[in-house]
Structure 1
Amino acid sequence: MDLFIEDKNDTTVTIMWSQPEVIGDSGLDGYTIEVCKDGTEDWKAVNEDLQKSCRYVIKNQTTGDRLKIRVVALNAGGRSPSLSLPEAVLVKEVADRPKVRLPRYLRQRYVAQVGEKINLTIPFSRVMIRSSERDSILFIRVSERDDSGVYEICVKVDDFEDKAQLILQIVELPGPPSSVKVADTWGFNVALEWTAPTDNGNTDITGYTVQKSDKKTGDWFTVVDHYHRVNATISDLIMGNTYNFRVFSENKCGISEEPTVAKEEASIVKIGIDYKPPEYKERDFTEPPKFTTALSDRATTVGYSTKLLCSVRGVPRPKVIWMKNQMIIGEDPKYRQICVQGICSLEIRKPGNYDGGVYTCKAKNTHGEAIVSCKLEVKQIPVPDAEKK
């Protein structure tokens, strides 16, 4: 059984205990709580009836007395060996129970590098503190990996105590990978494999850094960093070159001071390459003329120039012919014909009474022809009534 003090004040002491591991076939009848003053052996039971529960309040005690307390279990077979508190209890009110207050950053594992100074301040509350709180300081001048472990602080006031644990982890740079080898070489690629380092620096390995070196120059270049696997494929190597590879280990302190170099070299062999250009079927883009925008009927006034517009497409580029009333206009200077990028226009300069009629645009190439027409109406300028008289 375990026996400990749950609470106390100036006249009472509250105790708790656990049940016996072995009770016996006849069962457990109850418990007797006995007390005596420190320095004497005059033990007296304080409970008239057997206590059934594992908690009891010892009442009507004198403030300042130091009591020895023990608990005895009873059944039909008799009394068990007594279980006593290791020290006498002072009957006195506890003004403030001790309490360890670990800072937030110490409630988890505290990690420090080898060689760092460690100065941990752990505040706690104590009895009869008036002006300020007190704290405890753990100081390690030059930390080593052997200093890693679980540290426990215990604050005790009279018969009450409070404990807290903090986990201290001292870490350092890891060792290099145990081995590195070239597993395969094909085309412009190399497959590498390596094993984890035997010394991880007392913390988890977070990744690896892979470097390559061209045998011609001897310069090292990083090809993969912060890589989590223990195998990698290095691509885009140059044909005809020979490469060496090395791997560093990484943890939260950084990368290992030394790498592990692969014993094998990787040679990218030159091979003959016959280039065969792809064969493409020639596409026929030819098409007969087609008007994408037709002519629109227009009305104009005598003496005011006007334009007729349309657009046409076709391959090969069609020849455009303008006609008036089914007669080819040709090179008549009264008309200005323009066709740029398939946009065709016919400008009629200062039309007269006889320039009205049906205008036609005809587009023609080797694959066919197309025609659009519109009607042009030429109106007289209105004459005021005064001038007519």
Structure 2
Amino acid sequence: MPRVCGAVIKAKVPSSAPLNVSVDDVNDSSLTIKWKTPETVGSSGLSGYTVEYRKDGTTDWIVANEELTLADRYCIRNLTAGDLLNVRVVAVNPGGRSEPGVLPEPVPIRDIGDKPKIRLPRSLRSRYVKKVGEQINLVIPFIGKPKPALSWLKDGQPLDTKRVNIRNSDRDSILFIRSAQREDSGIYEMTVKVESFEDKATLAIQTVDLPGPPSSVKLVDAWGFNAALEWTPPKDNGNSDITGYMVQKADKKTGEWFTVLEHYHRLTATVSDLIMGNSYLFRVFSENQVGRSESSAVTKKVATIQKTGIVYKPPEYQEHDFSEAPKFTTPLIDRAATVGYTTKLLCSVRGCPKPKIEWLKNQMIIGNDPKFRQISNQGICSLEIRKPCSFDGGVYTCRAKNAQGEAVVSCKLEVKRTYLYITNKESQNFPGLSLKICHNLLYVFTTVCCKMH
């Protein structure tokens, strides 16, 4: 080994060849290979790898990577399906290139095909409607490998390329019409084909326009303040269903047109509320989803509303008898009250003429007893019992009378007593009296106070 000024200089030698060169993946346009690090890389280390390939039957090697790669995997791109490639990998270090690691056998670039499939947008799966003069621009995606062959038909015939433009790419087809006309309506069929496989899609295009006027309109009859009209559908519906008609009238004196019916669906109509002594012309327009016809059909005859022979006889109405016997619509409800707390009984009654209201307690008329307050307003009857005591309990009845009859409704009122209790400690304030005697005296006192109220 050479020496320079006493130092030993190591010679730079190439590394050994990359190991186990093999195919990792292959498709119709790329090839991915992988390998393992050489057994010896040299004292200066490894700078990288160069991947080279050539078509089978040729002698010139093509460098796949312009710059060295440090990875142990590389993808060769932009290949052509059907080619048979030889591939090798060279390790590079400061000592130079190694012996190449070569794939054992040539690799065929496979032609991986996908069956053709048209992905028709949801909006085109039903009838596609456009107005005359509007632009049609439909994008229809598809898939298929290799690139499918595309064709279009309209109503089973080849497209008129003067009217319809077709633009195809690798993934979609565009049908373009700059200004749609009536003749562009029809069934369009798109076909994509790869070898023996094909897929088809159909779409219905409908171009619509304003309809023509009704074919004819005539005045059938005129009587009183009315005129009867009749017309026939238009010969040209604008390539769309007729959705209705608009009827107008014009007084011959003024010549101004006024709309009397809009969005009318029948072929006959009666125009009313015409003015006596005036003469009228009528016209009818057709309507479809685009709009109203530009022209109309006009009656040839004039409807003249005569002044004489019109006698108005007002209708006769039989007077209704609204008399009704009293009837309670809301009954009295049994309830309980507390001694000393004012309570109220409520019910509602109807009848014509207005019934007279009476209140009874235990079948006795209450009358003008100041303890009770009786109110009747708009059919609502109420009885207020002021500070009731236990003697005010019983059966209360509300009676309603008028010339047609009478009605009664009853309820039961229970007045509960409020008890006061004296404890043993409080009874000591009354020496000589037992606790039971104190309770009896308190009961008598409470009862007397209730009667005084």
TM score, norm. by length of structure 1: 0.48
TM score, norm. by length of structure 2: 0.41
